[in-house]
Amino acid sequence: MTLAMEIFRGRRRQKGARRVPSKALEDSLDTLKDSYDLLGLLIEDARFVIFDTELTGLKLRKDSIVSIGAVKMVGGRIHLGDYFYRLVRPETALTGRSVLIHEITPEEVSTCPDIETLLPEFIEYCRDSVLVGHFVSVDLGFVNKELKRLYNRTLQSPAIDTQRIYRWLAQQRENGCAYHEGRIEELDLTSLAGRYRIPVGRAHNALDDAYMTAQLFQRFLAELPGAGIRTVADLIRIGRL
């Protein structure tokens, strides 16, 4: 990319104009869009990207991504070396409250690349994979917001919510009885990890949370064959947003 182009891009972004996605990004987005092709795969053959984001806050309109962490799985196997972790210079201000949660300071991210630079990398990392996350709608919402803003595109691929899979399994274990809505159960990641004795890392670090989610997902996968869940399609049916 030439310096001129860089400047050009920067200026255009200031105006809030949309970019044309590069060929590579287009390809990656396409594989994600087409991930319905993955539906027929047996779970043990499928690739999963388990991801988490840290945000400046929870308001989709006002807030933005501070970091993205992701771990790859093939079937039930977590690939420890093939992880993704990036800090992002957020599009909106890092407020005091969120800094206390994820402990990422404005200074730390001031020199980091912006989301525009990182998003294509992340999309590439997700190529040919089914997306998984804990309360994944929130994270996916922010990723899509940026994709929309930058490229007027969104991820079309199905994503699996581990929290929903947990609830579905709990329901199965209760012999098909309706899930007790009345029962108060903590469904946040740390509580669930504790229940499965999964070591809790630095809380609200996107990579550690993604790794915890992956381990939780790994436990669920071990239970699923017994409940008749064998393919990615089955998995999406029970864990869909």
Please report, as ranges, the residues that interact with another protein according to CB under 8 A.
Answer: 71, 74, 76-81, 83, 201-202, 205, 207-208, 211, 215, 218-219, 221-223
Give the nearer residue to another protein in terms of CB position, either 76 or 113.
76
Give the nearer residue to another protein in terms of CB position, either 78 or 138.
78
Give the nearer residue to another protein in terms of CB position, either 227 or 241.
227
Give the pair of three-digit tokens for residue 225. Answer: 């064959």
* Residues in CB range of 25: below 8 A, 6 or more apart: 119, 120, 123, 124, 151
In angstroms, what is the minimal distance from the CB of 223 to another protein?
Answer: 7
In angstroms, what is the minimal distance from the CB of 78 to another protein?
Answer: 4
Give the nearer residue to another protein in terms of CB position, either 168 or 211.
211
Alpha-carbon gap, residue 92 to 142, rounded angstroms: 12
In angstroms, what is the minimal distance from the CB of 128 to another protein?
Answer: 18
In angstroms, what is the minimal distance from the CB of 214 to another protein?
Answer: 8
In angstroms, what is the minimal distance from the CB of 168 to another protein?
Answer: 17
Give the nearer residue to another protein in terms of CB position, either 39 or 170.
170
Contact 68, 167 (CB under 8 A): no
In angstroms, what is the minimal distance from the CB of 98 to another protein?
Answer: 21
Strands 77-87 and 65-74: antiparallel
Contact 79, 72 (CB under 8 A): yes
Give the nearer residue to another protein in terms of CB position, either 151 or 220.
220
In angstroms, what is the minimal distance from the CB of 134 to another protein?
Answer: 16
Give the nearer residue to another protein in terms of CB position, either 74 or 112.
74
